[in-house]
Copies of this chain bind each other. A is one copy, B any other.
Amino acid sequence: MIVSALLTSVGINLGLCVLFFALYSVLRKQPCNLKVYAPRLVAEGRAGQRSHFNIEALLPSAGWVRRAWQPSEDELLNSCGLDGVVFNRIFIFSLRVFSVAAIIGIFVLLPVNYLGDHLRDIDFSDLPNKSLDLFTISNVKDSSNWLWVHFSAAYFITGVVCYLLYSEYKYISNKRIAHFSSSKPQPHHFSILVRDIPSHGRSSLSDTVETFFMDYHPSDYLASTVVCRTSKLRGLITDTENLYRRITHLKSMPSSSQNQSHTGFLGLFRKNGDLMGHYAKKLEDLEQNVRLEQSDISAGREVAPAAFVCFRSRYGAAKALHIRQSTNPTEWVTEHAPEPHDVYWPFFSTSFTQRWISKLVVVVASVLLIVLFLLVVAFVQGLTYLEQLEALLPFLKNILKITVVSQIVTGYLPSLLLHLVASLVPPIMKLFSAMQGYIAISEIEKSACNKMLLFTIWFLFFANVLTGSVTSQFQIFLDPKTIPERLAVAVPAQASFFIAYVVTSWTSLSWELNRTIAFIGDLISRRCSKTNDDDFQIPSIPYHSEIPRVLLFGLLGFTYFLLAPLILPFILVFFCFGYIIYRNQKELLNVYQPKYDTGGRFWPIVHNATIFSLILMQIIAVGIFGVKKLPLASSLILPLPVLTLLFNDYCRKRFLPIFHDFSAETLIKKDREDRNDPAMEEFFDKLVTAYRDPALMPIRHSTNSNDHSSPLLSKV
The yes or no answer to A608 lying at the interface (CB within 8 A) is no
> Which residues does chain B contribute within 8 Å of A325, judged by CB atoms?
663-665
The yes or no answer to A324 lying at the interface (CB within 8 A) is yes
Minimum C-beta distance from A646 to chain B (A): 10
A216, A478, A665 interface centre (most CB from chain B within 10 Å): A665
Q: Are A323 and B324 neighbours in the complex by a CB distance under 8 Å?
A: no
The yes or no answer to A480 lying at the interface (CB within 8 A) is yes
Q: Are A323 and B318 neighbours in the complex by a CB distance under 8 Å?
A: yes
**A657 to chain B: closest residue by CB:** B329
A292 vs B329: C-alpha distance when bound (angstroms): 51
Minimum C-beta distance from A220 to chain B (A): 11
A299-340: CB near B (< 8 Å → 1, else 0) gives 000000000000000010011101111111110000000000
The yes or no answer to A605 lying at the interface (CB within 8 A) is no
> Which residues does chain B contribute within 8 Å of A320, judged by CB atoms?
664
- A-side residues, CB < 8 A to B, are 177, 216, 315, 318-320, 322-330, 478-480, 653-658, 661-668
A657 vs B331: C-alpha distance when bound (angstroms): 12
Minimum C-beta distance from A221 to chain B (A): 12
A682 vs B165: C-alpha distance when bound (angstroms): 53
> Which residues does chain B contribute within 8 Å of A665, judged by CB atoms?
216, 325-327
Report copies per complex. 2
> Which residues does chain B contribute within 8 Å of A318, judged by CB atoms?
323
Q: Are A654 and B216 neighbours in the complex by a CB distance under 8 Å?
A: no
Q: Are A323 and B664 neighbours in the complex by a CB distance under 8 Å?
A: yes
> Which residues does chain B contribute within 8 Å of A324, judged by CB atoms?
657, 661-664
A664 vs B657: C-alpha distance when bound (angstroms): 22
Minimum C-beta distance from A562 to chain B (A): 28
Q: Which residue of B330, B478, B654 is within 8 Å of A329 (Cβ)? A: B654
**Majority-rule SS of A interface residues:** helix
* A322-B323, A479-B478, A663-B324 given; A329·B655 CB < 8 A: yes
A409 vs B665: C-alpha distance when bound (angstroms): 68
A167 vs B327: C-alpha distance when bound (angstroms): 17
> Which residues does chain B contribute within 8 Å of A319, judged by CB atoms?
319, 323, 664
> Which residues does chain B contribute within 8 Å of A326, judged by CB atoms?
663, 665
Q: Are A177 and B327 neighbours in the complex by a CB distance under 8 Å?
A: yes
**A480 to chain B: closest residue by CB:** B478
Minimum C-beta distance from A703 to chain B (A): 49
* A216-B665, A668-B216 given; A327·B658 CB < 8 A: yes
Q: Are A330 and B653 neighbours in the complex by a CB distance under 8 Å?
A: yes
**A660 to chain B: closest residue by CB:** B324
> Which residues does chain B contribute within 8 Å of A216, judged by CB atoms?
664-665, 668
Minimum C-beta distance from A172 to chain B (A): 14
A663 vs B329: C-alpha distance when bound (angstroms): 8
A199 vs B658: C-alpha distance when bound (angstroms): 21
A666 vs B325: C-alpha distance when bound (angstroms): 9
Q: Are A330 and B664 neighbours in the complex by a CB distance under 8 Å?
A: no
Minimum C-beta distance from A443 to chain B (A): 19
A478 vs B475: C-alpha distance when bound (angstroms): 10
Minimum C-beta distance from A590 to chain B (A): 33
> Which residues does chain B contribute within 8 Å of A658, judged by CB atoms?
327, 329
A480 vs B480: C-alpha distance when bound (angstroms): 13
> Which residues does chain B contribute within 8 Å of A656, judged by CB atoms?
329
> Which residues does chain B contribute within 8 Å of A661, judged by CB atoms?
324
Minimum C-beta distance from A589 to chain B (A): 37
A664 vs B329: C-alpha distance when bound (angstroms): 11
Q: Are A327 and B666 neighbours in the complex by a CB distance under 8 Å?
A: yes
A216 vs B669: C-alpha distance when bound (angstroms): 9
A320, A328, A330, A661 interface centre (most CB from chain B within 10 Å): A328
Minimum C-beta distance from A356 to chain B (A): 10
> Which residues does chain B contribute within 8 Å of A667, judged by CB atoms?
323
Q: Are A329 and B668 neighbours in the complex by a CB distance under 8 Å?
A: no
A654 vs B333: C-alpha distance when bound (angstroms): 11
A484 vs B206: C-alpha distance when bound (angstroms): 52
> Which residues does chain B contribute within 8 Å of A329, judged by CB atoms?
653-658, 663
**A654 to chain B: closest residue by CB:** B330
A324 vs B655: C-alpha distance when bound (angstroms): 12
Q: Are A323 and B653 neighbours in the complex by a CB distance under 8 Å?
A: no
A327 vs B329: C-alpha distance when bound (angstroms): 28
Q: List 25 A-B contacts (CB under 8 A).
A: A177-B327, A216-B665, A216-B668, A315-B323, A319-B323, A319-B664, A322-B322, A323-B663, A323-B664, A323-B667, A324-B657, A324-B661, A324-B662, A325-B663, A325-B665, A327-B658, A327-B665, A327-B666, A328-B654, A329-B654, A329-B655, A329-B657, A330-B653, A478-B478, A478-B480
A661 vs B666: C-alpha distance when bound (angstroms): 25
Minimum C-beta distance from A548 to chain B (A): 27
**A479 to chain B: closest residue by CB:** B478
**A217 to chain B: closest residue by CB:** B664
**A475 to chain B: closest residue by CB:** B479
A664 vs B319: C-alpha distance when bound (angstroms): 9
> Which residues does chain B contribute within 8 Å of A655, judged by CB atoms?
329
A653 vs B325: C-alpha distance when bound (angstroms): 14
**A481 to chain B: closest residue by CB:** B478
Q: Are B322 and A663 neighbours in the complex by a CB distance under 8 Å?
A: no
> Which residues does chain B contribute within 8 Å of A323, judged by CB atoms?
315, 318-319, 322, 663-664, 667
